[in-house]
Structure 1
Amino acid sequence: MPVLTRDEAQTRARLLDVHRYTVDLDLTTGEETFDSTTLVHFTARTAGTTFVELKPVTLRSVTLDGEHLDPEALAGNRLHLTLTEGEHTLRVDAAMRYSRTGEGMHRFTDPSDGETYVYTQLFMDDVQRVFAAFDQPDLKAVFDVTVTAPDRWTVLANGVTTHHGDGRWQAATTPRISTYLVAVAAGPWHSIRTEHAGLPFGIHCRRSLAPHLDTDADEILDVTRQCFDRYHEKFDEPYPFDSYDQAFVPEFNAGAMENPGLVTFRDEFVYRSAVTLTERQTRAMVIAHEMAHMWFGDLVTLTWWDDIWLNESFAEYMGYQTVNEATGRYPDTWVDFAIARKAWGYDADQRPSTHPVAPDPDAVPDTAAAMLNFDGISYAKGASALRQLVAWLGEKDFLAGINAHFARHRFGNATLADFIDNLASATDRDVHAWAEAWLRTTGVDTLTPAYDPAAGTLAVTRTGSRPHRITAGVYDPDLADGRRLVLRDRLEIDVPQDAPAHLPGPRPALIVLNDGDHTYAKLRLDEHSGERALRTLSGIPDALTRAVVWNGLRDMVRDGELEPVTYLETARAHLPEETDLAIVQGVLGFASTHIADRYVTPDDRPAALALLTDLARDLIRRTEDGRDPGLRLTAVRHYIDTTDRQGTLHGWLDEGGVPGGPELDPELRWRVLTRLAVLGGTDESAIAAELDRDASATGQEGAARCRAALPTAEAKAAAWEGMFTSDTLSNYLFTATAQGFWQPEQAELVREYVPRFYPDATALADRRGPAIAEAAGRYAFPAHAVDAAHLRLAEQHLESGALLPALHRKLTDQVDDLRRALRVRKA
């Protein structure tokens, strides 16, 4: 089916002014399809031809101004219309298919209790899976939505919903919004409702998760209220919708979606098992991120998808900043951003698929190309750029520009040029030049310090082209404790420098560029600082500074400038003393998934895993006093993932917990069983017994992961058939199966599947579409197979023919990561 091009969207926007949609959905017609009737009121500015989009199972009838059109005229997903100048009414009646891939109208039946839930995810171009629409962001309209649902169901929508009896629910008329922001969620929801600032607030989940939502309801609602109030302090424009509901929905592909008045979240954020404070902080950040979209994205919406970065970068920046300012409940969120989120951006920006934060409109010719830009650049790099902009511009002028943007484009559409013009109106600084340097370029700059002890000066060399406003941290040994450092000074430096910065006094023990992490650049240490950092990293007094240094070491490993084993040894030496959990989680994550699984050779992998197991055991011992349950939980998770001691794992399963805690909740039990499956220490009967114990949706995913991880030819064949042949797995069950399938310990067993992946994934993507294509490229790729033969095979496949864009982009990134892993091994 054709995708919408930018040229087509511009042509249609010049022709049409869309006023109102009246959408009637009937969710009582069966398990496979639902009925959709749409009435669209619009004006044609001149006579001309255009099209409306729709992907029905059956198109029953179409009328334009009361005249019947031939349903057989539907070509792919387009119904062409010939219009006279003036007012028009289009009516479309169709049967639509429910989705199992998280696109369109997703339908889910909870294995815990048999209850069914549906919800929409209409982002980009999936509106047409639910109702007929002129599906582009700059054709905003008001929406009246009516839903017929089964008895006992509650219907949620963008506005307050009213039940009129006989399963009929009416949503309040929306303000002008884009088609992709329309939302419906229906089912026997467990709901907690309250009111804040005169508006109804609600949180919702499926009934089987009710006890878990109840446990966290106060925290979720407190964060919601605090962020809401903080945004009203920052933004002049009040919240623009009539209610604020947050629905935690099953099998959701993204983290969340900013539907006005009805934000949908993946329901893993309703925690069934123990989590760390850092994970709770992440949930809070996502709440704040999505709420920021109510203004930036929903009130003011992009004109075309080349500006999607601005929606996401702004919400990302505001999410982290607002949780830091408003809640007082969590550690410094910017530490987690530095150690975890920015790595996503740095990695994406060094691949062949990199693109400017704000790509040229011609580089986003259609919706398929736009979808590929939902990556670490549009989120993490863009947020980093905005953080640098605030450091350079000042928050007062930044917010003044933002408020001018909201005022000038409320309930309308805007472009990057509009955004920059509005920022420029609030300052004397050359924001346009800043935007060209930061938003229209690709790649990561590298900053390196050069200290001259004779002159007492610090020069910063830059590989790259962007201006940077940074802070250089200067540290001396702590005379009372040789393992620790103390801050001597922080120097404000603009790069490029007019002259080296003056740095009086003795030679510092450590100089850290970008102390405070206000810019986006790879950092290097001078030789003296590098040696001291490896010895005293845990003695740096500020967690954010430690995160900056850890990021520098990570980049050096990836660039072949630091031995992977040196990074592991540094982690072994310093993580037992680390006090910030985000750093522990970030360092252990890189050490296990990148170094142990890919960057060291198969011969060296057992030693790497043993080191990580010993490190996890040290952290477990450190937390025996019960004062840091989050660190203990993190250590237990990593011990499970790296150990080969089956007896210990079986003992924990039998006892139901780790000596001294924690108890093995469902997440930990499935984690243990997965590791035992990899090691050949369990079987189908044990997996089935565990599934009887936990028959939830998460249990189904755990069982699928374990079965795919069993080290037998039969288990691998069954898993492969489920992923690539049967087409019956939902998006989440597909992902769980893929996560279990490839295991470095089983390289010989799965060797025959490496060449099979490429044609099978290509055919799968063509059959099942972008969401499954992306999942196949991300999770089903044989990432463990780091060898030249695999690289040649992968490169040949990428060059051999047309791939669905979502799969091509994911494979391009995976193949580049494979090249990097080979370079690291050789270095």
Structure 2
Amino acid sequence: LAHMWFGDLVTMEWWNDLWLNESFATYTSIACQAYHPQSRWPHSWTTFANSMKTWAYRQDQLPSTHPIMAEIRDLDDVLVNFDGITYAKGASVLKQLVAYVGMDEFFKGVQAYFKAHAFGNTRLSDLLGALEETSGRDLKSWSKAWLETAGINILRPEIATDGEDGSGVITSFAIRQEAPALPAGAKGAPTLRPHRIAVGLYDLDGESGKLVRRERLELDVDGELTDVPQLVGTRRPDVVLLNDDDLSYAKVRLDERSLAFVTEHLGDFESSLPRALCWASAWDMTRDAELPARDYLSLVLSGIGKESDIGVVQSLHRQVKLAIDLYADPTAREALLTRWTDATLAHLRSAEAGSDHQLAWARAFAATARTPEQLDLLDALLDGSQTIEGLAVDTELRWAFVQRLAAVGRFDEAEITAEYERDKTAAGERHAATARAARPTPEAKAEAWASVVEDDKLPNALQEAVIGGFVQTDQRELLAAYTDRYFEVVKGVWDSRSHEIAQQIAIGLYPAVQVSRETLDKTDAWLASAEPNAALRRLVSEARAGVERALRAQEADAR
């Protein structure tokens, strides 16, 4: 419905304002769920923080990061800019704009804009002018800082108290804003921005055992250091949370005392959004090599059992697996995987029967099951000789089990074909293709590679399924031979296939699981010699940045 306003009723003059079309639709789709008094989705901003914003933060730290108002020169630029900046960061910054000008003022300005420009074409300045009229805020400098620059700010609290151990009464409180250097290769310069944020003070309630917000202060943060005299004289809370309610777009750090408390009590927040913000902060720190992967695992294991939001739980499952697979010291990886898989099975057995959480834990368990006993359980759940109360092993869950059993070599063509006979649908065909490509044999990998790279007959959904099965993080040695082959073929694939098909291959088959200096060197050599066009160069550079980040995180975890 939002697209009927931005994009249809009023259309941008040129593609550099594409973000507004997409971002406004994303923002309002969440806002209408969150703010409707009879909404069935009161935790919509929690989901947004855990999915869309995570995507935005990741995209904004790649060498391809760009201002929300991107420079669009040709069709290739348009196609690759349907990204996390255009959708997720844009929507996040719109949420910040709403906080900055006020919600009533924002929507009054938007209404005036639509009335003035209905069935016409506009530029961003037309919208900002309408918002300036209703809010009284000068948005020209705001727009320059937020929409015409790239990168993320970091906000850190600086707190002093009259207690020697950091407790007692707050004697000074300030918020430090940092503008980290942009990734190598990104255009632009680090920028400090004006932020409208809330600061939440949380205490553990002795009766309920919940972390409850005692006080909320909303204020403007601008420049490198913003003093907050309003909190001087206040008793220091158990947790100080910057950017409470997730009003702005920034990475948030907890002070040392708050982080220690959250490590023990993250699952005890009364509301889902502050939990999500603390989870996001911990994940940011892990990706930035400030928190070792093993400590992130410990943090998740300490709090995930109390997490009620299923979207957050599923996000944590993905992030833990990624942290162990790519960010952990390789010599510790097997022990961490064992610890995680044991925990997934324990949660699967203890989760409420028939609940979404039980199903999510079943999938998480299937993704890393490794011991003979664990694999026997998957097999038994498939044939019905064992059951877990409330767990419906339906068609989709069966395929998750089959794919894992194929990936570890327990199932081969006969078992995969038999499962496909049970589910002879388009989805079943894709699942079977994933399972075949996941088998841990040179022959299976060669067959999968040939079907994607050497042939061009696969529809894009089937190709995506094959690539998903081909890349298994516990098959690094088997996949090592394909690093050189990737760089030999990727430019030819890009030049000869459609955009969607070529992009799947360029991203999906990049040797991201080979986290080594050698992979970076081979990527650099290819970038220097292959002369790829801008779109392909961007995709490969983004993939390279993932390996570089993983290397830093592995070194931090090893230390």
TM-score, normalization: structure 2?
0.91
1:687-714: CA deviation from partner (whole Å, max 9, x where unpaired): 1111111111111111110111111111
Runs of 5+ unmatched residues, structure 1:
1-290
Q: Any conservation in 2 of the 1:568–1:611 contact (CA below 8 Å)?
A: no
Does 1:596 find its partner at 2:324? Answer: yes
Q: Aligned partners of 2:127, 2:246: CA distance in 1, in Å?
A: 25
- The one-letter code sitting in structure 1 at the alignment partner of 2:468 is Q
Does 1:710 find its partner at 2:439? Answer: yes
Counting only pairs closer than 5 Å after superposition, residues 154-169 of structure 1 correspond to structure 2 as none
Task: Return the match for 2:29 from 319, 342, 363.
Answer: 319
Q: Any conservation in 2 of the 1:719–1:737 contact (CA below 8 Å)?
A: yes
Give the aligned partner of residue 407 of structure 1.
115
Counting only pairs closer than 5 Å after superposition, residues 276-295 of structure 1 correspond to structure 2 as 291-295=1-5
Q: Any conservation in 2 of the 1:460–1:500 contact (CA below 8 Å)?
A: no
Task: Return the match for 1:432 from 135, 140, 158.
Answer: 140
Give the aligned partner of residue 201 of structure 2.
474
Assess, with a 3 A threshold, how the Cα gap between structure 1 residues 568 and 499 changes in structure 2: closer, same or farther: closer
Shift of 1:659: 1.5
Q: What SS does the corresponding residue of 1:777 show, helix, strand or coil?
A: helix
- The one-letter code sitting in structure 1 at the alignment partner of 2:59 is A
Counting only pairs closer than 5 Å after superposition, residues 735-774 of structure 1 correspond to structure 2 as 735-774=464-503
Q: Aligned partners of 1:442, 1:734: CA distance in 2, in Å?
A: 33
Give the aligned partner of residue 360 of structure 2.
634
Q: Aligned partners of 1:767, 1:580: CA distance in 2, in Å?
A: 44
Q: Aligned partners of 1:472, 1:412: CA distance in 2, in Å?
A: 41
Whose strand fraction is larger, Structure 1's or Structure 2's? 1
Assess, with a 3 A threshold, how the Cα gap between structure 1 residues 549 and 409 changes in structure 2: closer, same or farther: same
Q: Any conservation in 2 of the 1:317–1:386 contact (CA below 8 Å)?
A: yes
- The one-letter code sitting in structure 2 at the alignment partner of 1:444 is I
Task: Return the match for 2:14 from 290, 304, 309.
Answer: 304
Task: Return the match for 1:338 from 49, 52, 55.
Answer: 49
Give the aligned partner of residue 349 of structure 1.
60
Shift of 1:499: 4.9
Q: Any conservation in 2 of the 1:313–1:380 contact (CA below 8 Å)?
A: yes
Q: What SS does the corresponding residue of 2:492 show, helix, strand or coil?
A: helix
Q: Any conservation in 2 of the 1:564–1:595 contact (CA below 8 Å)?
A: yes
Shift of 1:586: 1.5
Give the aligned partner of residue 227 of structure 1.
none
- The one-letter code sitting in structure 2 at the alignment partner of 1:617 is L
Assess, with a 3 A threshold, how the Cα gap between structure 1 residues 551 and 460 changes in structure 2: closer, same or farther: same
Give the aligned partner of residue 779 of structure 1.
508
1:385-409: CA deviation from partner (whole Å, max 9, x where unpaired): 1101111111111112212222222
Q: Aligned partners of 1:498, 1:476: CA distance in 2, in Å?
A: 23
Assess, with a 3 A threshold, how the Cα gap between structure 1 residues 753 and 319 changes in structure 2: closer, same or farther: same
Q: Any conservation in 1 of the 2:33–2:42 contact (CA below 8 Å)?
A: no
Counting only pairs closer than 5 Å after superposition, residues 213-232 of structure 1 correspond to structure 2 as none
Q: Aligned partners of 2:406, 2:330: CA distance in 1, in Å?
A: 20
Does 1:463 find its partner at 2:191? Answer: no
Q: Aligned partners of 1:607, 1:535: CA distance in 2, in Å?
A: 22
Q: Aligned partners of 1:624, 1:498: CA distance in 2, in Å?
A: 47
Q: Any conservation in 1 of the 2:349–2:388 contact (CA below 8 Å)?
A: no
Assess, with a 3 A threshold, how the Cα gap between structure 1 residues 725 and 535 changes in structure 2: closer, same or farther: same
Runs of 5+ unmatched residues, structure 2:
163-169, 180-191
Q: Any conservation in 2 of the 1:576–1:618 contact (CA below 8 Å)?
A: no
The structure with higher relative contact order (CA 8 Å, sep 6+) is 2
Counting only pairs closer than 5 Å after superposition, residues 65-464 of structure 1 correspond to structure 2 as 291-326=1-36, 328-359=39-70, 363-454=71-162, 456-464=171-179
- The one-letter code sitting in structure 2 at the alignment partner of 1:540 is F
Q: Any conservation in 1 of the 2:106–2:134 contact (CA below 8 Å)?
A: yes
Q: Any conservation in 2 of the 1:538–1:578 contact (CA below 8 Å)?
A: yes
Q: What SS does the corresponding residue of 1:462 show, helix, strand or coil?
A: strand
Whose helix fraction is larger, Structure 1's or Structure 2's? 2
Q: Any conservation in 2 of the 1:372–1:805 contact (CA below 8 Å)?
A: no
How many residues are aligned here?
Answer: 530
Shift of 1:297: 1.2
1:29-82: CA deviation from partner (whole Å, max 9, x where unpaired): xxxxxxxxxxxxxxxxxxxxxxxxxxxxxxxxxxxxxxxxxxxxxxxxxxxxxx
Q: Aligned partners of 1:489, 1:425: CA distance in 2, in Å?
A: 32
Q: Aligned partners of 2:353, 2:422: CA distance in 1, in Å?
A: 31
1:548-603: CA deviation from partner (whole Å, max 9, x where unpaired): 111111111111111111110111111111112122112111111x2122111333
- The one-letter code sitting in structure 2 at the alignment partner of 1:453 is T
Counting only pairs closer than 5 Å after superposition, residues 684-703 of structure 1 correspond to structure 2 as 684-703=413-432
Give the aligned partner of residue 520 of structure 1.
249
CA RMSD of aligned residues (A): 1.7
Q: What SS does the corresponding residue of 2:151 show, helix, strand or coil?
A: coil
Q: Aligned partners of 2:310, 2:343: CA distance in 1, in Å?
A: 15
Shift of 1:778: 2.8
Q: Aligned partners of 2:452, 2:533: CA distance in 1, in Å?
A: 17
Shift of 1:498: 5.5
Q: Aligned partners of 2:278, 2:339: CA distance in 1, in Å?
A: 21
Q: What SS does the corresponding residue of 1:426 show, helix, strand or coil?
A: helix
Q: Any conservation in 2 of the 1:609–1:643 contact (CA below 8 Å)?
A: no
Q: Any conservation in 2 of the 1:791–1:818 contact (CA below 8 Å)?
A: yes
Assess, with a 3 A threshold, how the Cα gap between structure 1 residues 541 and 624 changes in structure 2: closer, same or farther: closer
Q: Any conservation in 2 of the 1:448–1:523 contact (CA below 8 Å)?
A: yes
Assess, with a 3 A threshold, how the Cα gap between structure 1 residues 554 and 301 changes in structure 2: closer, same or farther: same
